[in-house]
Structure 1
């Protein structure tokens, strides 16, 4: 009899201990680790999983075969800082406040750090940062993951490499039963691209909205070299997850902050600048080698992570969990995605807004009277345009296509409307087509509602004198590039 009571007493004690562990959020290995690898300035069309047959991306190709590939995923902004802030807060730029590049989000905004930490996760970042302030994004920062490229130790500027050795050490120190969120943010293929390309200029492709010159091909060979460099870093991270026995219990997501520093890419709302690659590998939960047409925004990533972690997303965000899509790729998610671009200070003073459905794109240019310019055509202190743009100007006097490219680059109408299925490179503006008048009116109404929901009352370029907008004053940028 005494033995019976002892056994029941022990069972009650063990049951209470298990209940207490669950109550304290210590569910152990039932919660998956979540790893996000972010490429820097990368076009969907410039990697193998999305149809490019020239660039070499073997690790991305492997990941695609193990993942659900999203064919219609979009950033919230085509500019680094605002885009990353949106990914980490589940808010569009006008709502979180960091809508101009290098600016910080509003005080009190909740980010992935607070939301996943509250659910029992350790939240760390390696590589590029470019978000702020610190109290909104109190990541555990893995030291030593940002290193100047050889030869630029004293003047790193845009010459940074991602270093994975500290990530290896960090992973080896993780304790069983404590799930983690790990964000690995590469510096490639952001300019400045490697000076010695591994591609021949003659073998690269030239998009139809660019100008085919010898200098363009040399620059594009360097860009593709950097894409392959990023792919190698992704492969290194995948190897580390295998090495530490974490791949089976980890969700691995791959994406980019926005499109590349090429004309009609970064700093603009055409698909080459705003559409992003997005792949999700989740062994045992996501069907390997599958694809989905579901329309998603990067603001949807955080709510999905929260739902996977059995949490509830806060009110007042723009993101919507797409966990149902991970379970069934045929499920529809959004009817429309919204995106905005404010500017990149003095180099870019042409703000614009976008609505994108599965077939149509509407762009509202808020300051069409201001000629569109960016670092590509104006910067003289680093590559990323200066090495090939003069050849574009010369060619514009010789070739009608080149002249049309430069005119369209600098001159944006108030409204643009594209059938992205029939016209995937967005070459034919349908805004003035009488057949599209009713559709245009619907987009205008929807845009007005979307901007009102964001409290977006901007009518022109960002105010550089506003607080936290000018990194040349005070203590520097509120969204540090690296740490």
Structure 2
């Protein structure tokens, strides 16, 4: 049986009601840069028995999408239920004051003064935990002046085994933990501020799943007697390339995000055992990273079961977006469409599948609905609850889905996707005048159009993998061409026009955010973005600053 709850009066709740309900614990496991080819049940040539088992034991949402395809904005949407373009964080608003076209990417951040799922659950009596990669707060700390931020510095080649260096790393880690707590988390540990290289130490530029899983296990142990919510985010399979085992299975398992931990960890099979089992399954050592992450997921699932909470706990597994080898940093399906698994013994029918459109913005509304927590009256969410789907409904929860990434926007249905690339006026004028834009590699010729993202590293690899990357109007027949190889915008003018109108309608939700002709009213008979002429500020920079983090 699930634990009874005490009703808390939140904005929008039934005042004075004295109701008892059953509400689940929730564990959400977010992997990083994980495409279908590193998941066995999706056809990847890898060994992932625990994820395969989750698909058999639970619910697989086969057309689950992230609405932005790099780390920060996708995670923002998971935790808030809002599109990343709605972010009101300080860094985001500095880059994009109202009236400016947004360029959604890794400047998205949780806001101190707005609701997110952890804050709401915490207020409703849940114990909340955060373990693993953040990339959601204090962007100015990540790549800025550490001393100014109150973080302690050390040489890039510092040895974490040296006591003085290690003490600095421990204190920095604790400072990051304390910085995350005000966003709604009681327990914060095992934190990576962003990607591994942002620790600014060569010795720590290695994945350590053992360390983060040990923190997740500790949280589950501490919280087992109360309703809990755990957000667990691993650095796998982001760079440094985990298939190069020097950065993963061959690395020193005592090198962590808090420095050198001499005693190590005992929550996962040994790394030698991972390699051995992977070989026994017929795979080579460069594919073992997939089994390693699989073991981490299995350890968390097993801990829930060992605590006797499998019938009281919804466990979610989902990547934050696809891999840079496919559609990351674009709105193509290999970036947007990711594996989504839900397991809840006794509530979710084993082996079930849902094929309609769903998205990361739906996760917060779903969790709140299941946990009997009213959505906040003083904030908005763009997603919808998937509670009916969890209990077996096959009815579509939406007919279309909006997506945003850098200078591109899209609208997707089950059959079609339309992607528009539009630049702010000042950038478009430079394009029209024959101006050039810098490529990622200095030896490469300059570009006729800028990358969609400020981060040229992302733009370079995304454009290499997606031949239609720079095209202004892209239409794909997802039924006939699920890999989006052929842009049929000119071939189906009626469909293209309908999809453009759908996109224009979606963009009316974003006040004072222009996007070419889609927000000037011409496509919707005069319905414009409220309070805004479609014009970029005169001082807009056609070459905005480059993000330095490798994302």
Question: Scaled by the length of structure 2, what TM-score is found?
Answer: 0.64
Is it true that 1:168 corresponds to 2:168 in the alignment? no
The separation in 2 between residues aligned to 1:244 and 1:461, in whole angstroms, is 56
- Gaps (5+ residues) in structure 2? 11-17, 93-103, 139-179, 250-282, 424-430, 432-447, 517-534
The separation in 1 between residues aligned to 2:411 and 2:229, in whole angstroms, is 31
- Does the 8 Å contact 2:65/2:337 carry over to 1? yes
The separation in 1 between residues aligned to 2:450 and 2:5, in whole angstroms, is 63
The separation in 2 between residues aligned to 1:244 and 1:28, in whole angstroms, is 24
Query: C-alpha displacement at 1:270, in angstroms?
Result: 0.7
Aligned equivalent of 2:84: 93
- Does the 8 Å contact 2:4/2:20 carry over to 1? no
- Does the 8 Å contact 2:5/2:22 carry over to 1? no
Residues 49 and 356 (structure 1), Cα distance of their counterparts in 2 relative to 1, 3 Å cut: same
Aligned equivalent of 1:420: 478
- Does the 8 Å contact 1:146/1:160 carry over to 2? no
Aligned equivalent of 1:186: 234
The separation in 1 between residues aligned to 2:375 and 2:345, in whole angstroms, is 24
Give deviations 1:356-403, integer Å, cap 9, x for gaps. Answer: 111111111124951548899858xxxx97xxx9xxxxxxxxxxxxxx
Aligned equivalent of 2:401: 337
Secondary structure, aligned partner of 1:144: strand
Query: C-alpha displacement at 1:231, in angstroms?
Result: 1.4
* Of 368, 376, 380, the match for 1:306: 368
Is it true that 1:255 corresponds to 2:318 in the alignment? yes
Aligned equivalent of 1:214: none
The separation in 1 between residues aligned to 2:51 and 2:183, in whole angstroms, is 28
Secondary structure, aligned partner of 2:369: helix
Residues 372 and 282 (structure 1), Cα distance of their counterparts in 2 relative to 1, 3 Å cut: same
Residues 70 and 461 (structure 1), Cα distance of their counterparts in 2 relative to 1, 3 Å cut: farther
* Of 101, 121, 129, the match for 1:116: 121
Aligned equivalent of 1:452: 508
The separation in 2 between residues aligned to 1:140 and 1:71, in whole angstroms, is 33
Count of paired positions: 400
Q: Please, what is the CA RMSD of the aligned residues? A: 4.0
Is it true that 1:370 corresponds to 2:449 in the alignment? yes
- Does the 8 Å contact 1:44/1:275 carry over to 2? no
* Of 22, 26, 39, the match for 1:30: 22
The separation in 1 between residues aligned to 2:67 and 2:293, in whole angstroms, is 22
Residues 303 and 250 (structure 1), Cα distance of their counterparts in 2 relative to 1, 3 Å cut: same
The separation in 2 between residues aligned to 1:137 and 1:115, in whole angstroms, is 10
Aligned equivalent of 2:201: 154
Query: C-alpha displacement at 1:22, in angstroms?
Result: 4.6
Query: C-alpha displacement at 1:318, in angstroms?
Result: 0.4
Is it true that 1:265 corresponds to 2:327 in the alignment? yes
Matches within 5 A, 1:69-468: 69-97=60-88, 99-106=104-111, 108-132=113-137, 134=180, 137-144=183-190, 154-155=201-202, 159-162=206-209, 163=211, 164-176=213-225, 178-194=226-242, 195-196=244-245, 224-262=287-325, 264-314=326-376, 315-342=379-406, 351-367=407-423, 370-372=449-451, 378=457, 406=464, 409=467, 412-433=470-491, 436-455=492-511, 456-458=513-515
Aligned equivalent of 1:13: none
Aligned equivalent of 1:393: none
The separation in 2 between residues aligned to 1:35 and 1:88, in whole angstroms, is 13
Residues 330 and 356 (structure 1), Cα distance of their counterparts in 2 relative to 1, 3 Å cut: same
Give deviations 1:334-361, integer Å, cap 9, x for gaps. Answer: 101111112xxxxxxxx21111111111
- Does the 8 Å contact 1:131/1:137 carry over to 2? no
Residues 458 and 132 (structure 1), Cα distance of their counterparts in 2 relative to 1, 3 Å cut: farther
Query: C-alpha displacement at 1:57, in angstroms?
Result: 0.9
Secondary structure, aligned partner of 1:127: strand
Secondary structure, aligned partner of 1:171: helix
- Does the 8 Å contact 2:58/2:349 carry over to 1? yes
Aligned equivalent of 1:10: none
- Gaps (5+ residues) in structure 1? 1-17, 200-219, 343-350, 390-404
Query: C-alpha displacement at 1:407, in angstroms?
Result: 9.2
Residues 20 and 88 (structure 1), Cα distance of their counterparts in 2 relative to 1, 3 Å cut: closer
Question: Scaled by the length of structure 1, what TM-score is found?
Answer: 0.73
Aligned equivalent of 1:216: none
Residues 105 and 183 (structure 1), Cα distance of their counterparts in 2 relative to 1, 3 Å cut: closer
- Does the 8 Å contact 1:361/1:420 carry over to 2? yes
Query: C-alpha displacement at 1:109, in angstroms?
Result: 2.2
Secondary structure, aligned partner of 2:411: strand
The separation in 1 between residues aligned to 2:56 and 2:24, in whole angstroms, is 20
The separation in 2 between residues aligned to 1:158 and 1:458, in whole angstroms, is 39
The separation in 2 between residues aligned to 1:157 and 1:143, in whole angstroms, is 17
